[in-house]
Amino acid sequence: MCGIVAYIGDQEAYPILIKGLKRLEYRGYDSAGVALMDNGELQLYKCKGRVADLEAHINGADVRGTIGIGHTRWATHGEPNDVNAHPQSSGSGDLVMIHNGIIENYATLKEELINRGHTFVSDTDTEVLIQLIEDIRQHEEVDLFEAVRIALNEVVGAYAIVILSRKDPDIMIGAKKSSPLTIGVGNNNEYFMASDATPIIEYTKNVVYLEDGEIAMVDRTAGLMIRNIENQEKTPYIQELEMQLENLEKGGYEHFMLKEIFEQPRSILDCMRGRLSVEKGKVVLGGIKDYEQKMVNAKRIIIVACGTSWHAGLVGEYLFEDLARIPVEVEYASEFRYRNPIIDEDDIVLAISQSGETADTLAAIELAKSKGATIIGICNVVGSTIARTTHAGSYTHAGPEIGVASTKAFTAQVTVLALMAMAIGKRKGTIPESAFHLLLTELTSIPDKVESVLKRDAQIKYIADIYKDAPNALYLGRGYSFPVALEGALKLKEISYIHAEGYPAAEMKHGPIALIDEEMPVFVIATKGPSYEKVVSNIQEVKARKGKIIAVVTEGDIVVKDIADHVIEIPDTDDKLMPLLSVIPFQLISYHIAVMLKRNVDQPRNLAKSVTVE
Ligand code: AGP
């Protein structure tokens, strides 16, 4: 979490930093700050609140400088207030630093520094690190780069940092371990550093992704130099960004979330593009080609992910078991990494992550890797840490997802999982040719069917208005629809702050049924499929207790229409692909309820888009 951005070049840094921080605000929005240097003088502005609050705070001040750093915070150490906001300064005020990550041994380091006479003003771990760097520079009489290098060797934890120094006004130093740091290489010795490429794309498409344990120094005249913390020089590897600037704008929608929901026909298509051919009866995922045989031979697949990506993983479990007959376990990455799991070199670990930066997923990957497993990634952000850490993988190609609530990433993840399971099943011979062909054809019809679900938006908004004041909600589904029930509940709670639970429909009678009364909205996926009749019975059970039923049904359904309070009709499709359609009404319901309750839809409280701390 936390977004960091930095600039050094010929332009005024402030507008670049503010624009960059607005793009990075999805990473945290508890407080914000900037530091700029002009003629060897450091100007520091920071405050609690969002980037807009920072702008208001700065309003009217003469902010100047062609070198500067900016930060938007998701608090870890210390409550969100002005003092704990970044940039943090060293004791003398000579150094300023922005930081994304956690310095785990900060307490020990702080104690040592206090014993050496340093005093602290904030509660942050970041202040400890910048004071440590200053302490080393003063006592060991080394230059700034060396002081940073020595300090980072003492640090345990995760960091992406950028530092400015009053004594070195033409130098900017950045470093990374576990948290991301991208360096933009512009024209005429102009450089950017940021948590992701979104603040950079407008100025240059050339980027260097800093690796763990690397320190980058930009000197106005000498340019970019990279060394690792063992002090070995590294050659910067410049890559070209694929990102498009227009994808980072709202494009006429009121919120990014709504834009991203409505983008799904295209994002699913983009995800399939060039990967399947109905005529040739083929699915080709170039990124995993060399590992397909290994997947075919796998005794087991372990899926690791968090949040919405974990829900997509559950759909993946059903798909791989159905189509490729490979046993699958779906693990919360945060649990997997701490429970001494049994893994060996015959295991395939599938890591799913929109951002490609989630700390728990990354740690789960490292653990599985150390035990010899083959790691396949399914990521959205190209060049992200997870994408680079895995042995192979397939991008979801959904385009940048800015809204904190994940929507188009989920449908793209499910699409990739379907393609993967089909490719492996076909190679393994576990899907009959005719079934493969039918499913492939059906998959190509999904974007149009999503489009037709989106046309129900007005009706979904009407339903949202009826239930917006409910304090609780229950989501039920069976089989492939169970993960969608979990996802529907997650969407509602994270952006509307209404308590919601997702359950396998049949589990309701083992406890949650006690919650049902005339106040309780129960959202049910009751589309045609193997468990349709069973779900109809579950609906009857809810109605018998006066619960309110909002059912997502297949077009033309008359049975549920008779029992439910509301039905949302969606096109028919293969049960295995139904999550791609049935999740859409739930995304829209949550969106409309959140807007009606005046919540901050794109940046819900306490959350951040990339969870880069464990
Ligand atoms: C989804 O709406 C959430 N904001 C969250 O659960 C998210 O899916 C989770 O943090 C995982 O993120 P990732 O896909 O970037 O790894």
Question: Would you place residue 85 in the very low, low, confident or very high pLDDT band (cuts 50, 70, 90)?
Answer: very high
Which of 611, 612, 613, 614 has most ligand 1 atoms within 8 Å of its beta carbon, as the pocket-test mutant? 611
Residues 228 and 214: their CA atoms lie apart, in Å, by 4
Q: pLDDT tens-digit profile of 469-526?
A: 999 999 999 999 999 999 999 999 999 999 999 999 989 889 888 889 988 999 999 9
**pLDDT at 338 exceeding the cut of 90:** no
Q: Would you state the structure tokens that stand for residue 406, as one six-digit string?
A: 């994940």
pLDDT of res. 467: 97
Question: Residues of the chain with pLDDT > 70: what percent?
Answer: 100
Write the residue with the smallest CA distance to atom 7 of ligand 1.
Answer: 307
Q: Would you state the structure tokens that stand for residue 84, as one six-digit string?
A: 């704990």
Q: In a 10 Å sphere around its CB, with 0-12 CB exposed, 13-18 middle and 19+ buried, how is residue 601 labelled?
A: buried
Catalytic residue status for 271: no
Strands 67-73 and 31-38 come out as antiparallel
**pLDDT at 423 exceeding the cut of 90:** yes
pLDDT of res. 285: 92
Q: pLDDT tens-digit profile of 279-298?
A: 889 999 989 999 999 999 99
pLDDT of res. 64: 94
Q: pLDDT tens-digit profile of 140-186?
A: 989 999 999 999 999 998 899 999 999 999 999 999 998 889 999 99
Q: In a 10 Å sphere around its CB, with 0-12 CB exposed, 13-18 middle and 19+ buried, how is residue 472 labelled?
A: middle
Q: How far is the CA of 308 from the centre of ligand 1 (A)?
A: 5
Q: How far is the CA of 403 from the centre of ligand 1 (A)?
A: 11
Which range, 51-65, 230-244, 572-586, has the best average confidence (pLDDT)? Answer: 572-586
Using CA atoms, how far residue 91 sits from 73, 88, 102, 130, 151, in Å, is 21, 10, 20, 9, 16
Catalytic residue status for 609: yes
Ligand 1 neighbour 611 (Cβ under 6 A): yes
The beta strand positions in 9-128, using DSSP E, are: 31-38, 41-48, 67-73, 88-89, 95-103
Ligand 1 atom closest to the CA of 404, numbered from 1: 4
Round the average pLDDT of the chain to a whole number and report it: 94
**pLDDT at 558 exceeding the cut of 90:** yes
**pLDDT at 364 exceeding the cut of 80:** yes
3-state secondary structure 303-333: EEECHHHHHHHHHHHHHHHHHHCCCEEEEEH
Place of tokens 């050496």: 116
What residue type is assigned to position 592 of the chain?
H
Q: Is residue 409 a contact partner of residue 352, using CB atoms and an 8 Å limit?
A: no
Q: pLDDT tens-digit profile of 289-334?
A: 999 999 999 999 999 999 999 999 999 999 999 999 999 999 999 9
Q: Which residues contact 591 (CB under 8 A, 6 or more apart)?
A: 255, 257, 258, 261, 405, 495, 601
Q: Is residue 14 a contact partner of residue 192, using CB atoms and an 8 Å limit?
A: no
Ligand 1 neighbour 583 (Cβ under 6 A): no
Q: pLDDT tens-digit profile of 187-234?
A: 888 999 999 898 999 999 999 999 999 999 999 999 999 999 999 999
**pLDDT at 133 exceeding the cut of 80:** yes
**pLDDT at 77 exceeding the cut of 80:** no
Question: Residues of the chain with pLDDT > 90: what percent?
Answer: 85
pLDDT of res. 27: 83
**pLDDT at 244 exceeding the cut of 80:** no
Which of 331, 350, 355, 493 has most ligand 1 atoms within 8 Å of its beta carbon, as the pocket-test mutant? 355
Ligand 1 neighbour 494 (Cβ under 6 A): yes
pLDDT of res. 270: 92
Ligand 1 neighbour 174 (Cβ under 6 A): no
Residues 306 and 364: their CA atoms lie apart, in Å, by 11
The whole-model pTM stands at 0.80
Which of 308, 357, 496, 610 has most ligand 1 atoms within 8 Å of its beta carbon, as the pocket-test mutant? 308
